Structure 1
Amino acid sequence: MLTMRGTAVLLAMALFSSDAQAATIWEGTSTYSITTGSGDVLGTSGAAVALSAESTGEHSFVGAVASLDAGPFRGREIRLAGNLTVTQGRGQAAIWIRADGPDGRLGFANSGREPVRAHEGPLAREVLLYVPVGTTRLKFGVTLNSVGHVEVENLRLTQEAVSSAGITANDMLAYALPIIRAEALNAGNVDRSAKETVQLSPELKDLPAQEAYSRLRKVLDALADRHSLLQMPREALAYRQSAVASRPIESRLMQDIGYVLVPGLRGNNAGAGATFTAELCERITTLAPASSKGWILDLRQDTGGNMWPMLNGLHSLLGSHDAGAFRNRDGAVTRWRSRPTPGCSVDLSRSPVAVLVGPKTASSGEAIAVAFRARPGTRFFGQTTAGLATSNRGFPLPDGGMLRLTVGAMLDRDGEAYPQGIEPEHLVPRDQDAVEVAAAWLRSMR
C-alpha cells in the first residue's frame, strides 16, 4: 500500500543536462499516485519518470505531467519518445503530449493505440504533434489506467521542420468546412457565417496544412456532439492499416453461465478485424454447451473503434434480425445486423443475456449495447454509458488526414435513441460486483 500526502511532486535534482537545460519538473495528477523523475527531456540522455498508483479514484487514469514554454516549438513538429515498462499491477501505460493556447487545447497526441502492459517492456513508444502558431504551453507525460507501477526511460522531446507537400491550411479548411455544413448531425449548432469568417482568414494561405487542425477542432467543439474527431495523416494511415484491441478478449465458464468480455477495437484493417471476429465467436461456441443459464456480456471495457468485428463476433447471441439502425439529421434510417461467421453456427438468440455497461462503454461499444437493448430475454446491469451512441463517417482530407464526423444517431430495434447514454435497468454501484448481480438474475430466470 502506498503512503500518500496529497499530490506528489518531485523537483528533480538541481542539475543541468549536458546541453545546459534545467531538469524536467514532474507533477502527479492524483492523491492516489506517486510521481518521481530525473533528467531533462531536452537533453541528449533524456529524462526518467516513474509513476505508481494504488487507485485511479473517480477518474479513468492517473498521470505524471511536465510542461514547457511553447515558444521555441511553434510551427514545428515535435516528437516525444521513450521506453516504457509496467512492472506491477494490471494497468496499461501510454505517453502523451498536448499543445495549449490561451483558450485551451490546440493539439493532442498519445500512444494509447499501443498501450504497454505488465511484463511487456521495455517497449519503445513515440508520439508526434504539430505545434500550432498560437500555442503558449506544451504539456506532456505518462498515464496509467489502473493500479500498478510504470517506469519510462530515455524520454526525449525533439523537434523537426514541417512538410505539408504544398497543401495549405486554407486548402484544408476550404475543403472541410462545406462537408461539416452539409453532413454533420449537429450542423445547426454552428453559427455558419461567424465561424467560417473566423476560420478562413488570409494568413492561412501561408501556413502549412497542419495549422488547420486546431481550427477545425474548434468547429467540431461547436457541434457539441462530443464524438466528431480529426486524425492527422499518420494517425489515419495507422487506423487503416491496423486494428488493435484495447485489451484481450476474455471468456470463462461460471458454472452454468458463459462470461465474455468484449474490448474496444481501434482500426479498420480487414484481416485484423476478421481475426477478432473469429476469436470472439469461437469463444462463445466453446462455452455454449455448458452455458445452460445464459450469458454475461461484459461491455464495460469496450471503449469503441470498429463496431463491425464486434457485432459479427456476437452473431450467435444476436441472431439473424435487424439489431439496430442509424438515423441521419434528415430522418433517413439505415438498418444494420450482424453477419454469421463460418464455424460459429450455434444459435443462442433465445438464450438470456445480462449485459454489463459503464462509463467506459463508448461509441462502438455503445453500438453493441444498442444491438442488445431491445433483444428479448436481455437485461442491463452496471452504470450509464458514455453518451456517444452516434455514428461517425470518415471523410479523407487533402493532406491524407481524416475527418471522422458524427452524422447520425444510433437506434435500437424499437427505434429508440440514447443521446444521454444507455442507463441499465439494474444500477450497480461501483463498489458492488456487477458480475455476481447479473449471474443471480440469470439463475433466477429458470
Structure 2
Amino acid sequence: MRSSFVLAAALLSVPLLSTAAPAAARPCSWQAAWASAQMTPEGNNVLPSGALADATLRQIVRPSIGGARVRVRFSNVFGHAPLRIAGAAIARSADNASARLVPGSVRALAFGGARDVVIPAGGEWLSDPVALPVAAFDDVAVSVHLPADPDGATAHPGSRATSWIAKGDATAATDLPGATGTDHWFQLSGMEVERCAAPNGIVAFGDSITDGYGVKPNTNARWTDGLARRLGGRAAVLNLGIGGNRLLLDGLGPNAMARFDRDVLAQAGARHLIVLEGVNDIGVLTREQPASPEAHRALVAGVTGAYAQMVARARAHGLTVHVATIMPFASNAYYHPGPASEADRQAINAWVRTPGHVDRVIDFDRAMRDPARPDRLLPAYDSGDGLHPSVAGYRAMAGVVGLDSLR
C-alpha cells in the first residue's frame, strides 16, 4: 500500500508539460499608424484653380508604429461631388523635404483590385493592403494622380510638412523635378499598418497647440511627435489637431463635437484619447467685446459639458480618456483675455481636476505656467504670442505625459 501511495504521489508531482496547450499567437490586426483631421481649406490654404487637374500630388507622412503591410485612407469628406483617383502609389521617402523616393520602394496601390476609385462626396476610402515593410518614424510618400480638380477640397492645412504637385501621372516616378511645393495635405486622412502587437493607439484631439502651430515644416517637432519618440514605436500617436478649433462652435474646421466620431472613434486600434481643447472657446467669447456674466457661466458649462460627452462616448468604445488642463494665455494680443476669461479657464481646469470626471488628468497648466505669473506661460516655453508654446515648450509638453498611464 505504501509503495502505491508513493508512486501516485510521484506521478502527481511530475510537471504536465506534455498536456499543456501551446501559447496562442497574438492575432494580427490593422492599426492606425498616422492620421490627420480634415476640413475645408480657406484663404491662402486653397490651391489655385486647376492645380490638381491631371496632376500628381505627393505627400509625406511619418507613421509612429511599423508593420509589414500598409493601407492608406483617402478622404472626400468635404467634397461636393464624387472624387476620382486615377492612380496611387506608396513608397519610402528619400528626403522628407523633397519629392525624392527610395528607388525600388514604390508600390502601386489598388482599390478592390482596380487601379482607380471614385470616392463618394462625404466619404472616405481605404486602399487595398500592400506589402511594404515600414518601421516607426520612417518617412512615407503617398502619391495620387487626380484627373480633375476636386469639387470641394478636403484638406489639412496645418500639415507642417511639404507636399509636391507635378503635372501628369508621375505616381511611379522616383523624383518630381520642377514640382511645386505646398505645406498642406489634401484628400489624405490616414495610414494603417498590419501589426501583431496588442492595439494601444493614442488619439491626440485638439486645436493649434496639438496641430503644432509654430513648428517649421518637415521638422516633426510637435508635442505629439515628442511623445511618440518617447514611446519608441510601441504605440501610435495620432495627431487630430486643427488650428483654431473650438469645442462648441465651428471656426477653422468643424467644431470638436461634430468631428469626434470620425477623428477619434473611427481610428483603428485606438485605446487612449488625449483631449486638449477649449482655449479658443474662451478666447473668442470676449475677443470683440465683453461678455455678460451669464455668457461666461454658459461657456464654462458648455465646455465642461462637451468634455463629459466626449468621456462618455469614448469610454463606450473602450478608450481611456485623458483630459489636459488649458494652459494660460493672459498675454495673448489676439484674444487679449481679461480677468473673467482667466476665471473661466480656472473653472474649467477645476472641473477637469475633480476626481471622477475624467479617467486621467494631464496637467499642462501646472507644468507650463510661469510660477511668478500663473496666468501666463513660462517665458522659456512661450513662442512669443503668449498662447502657443515654443519648440522647447512642445518638448516639455511631451515630457509631461506619463508613459505608465498609456499602457
TM-score norm. by structure 1 comes to 0.29
TM-score norm. by structure 2 comes to 0.31
Give the structure with higher Rg (CA): 2
Of Structure 1 and Structure 2, the greater strand share is in 1
**Which structure is richer in relative contact order (CA contacts within 8 A, separation 6 or more)?**
2
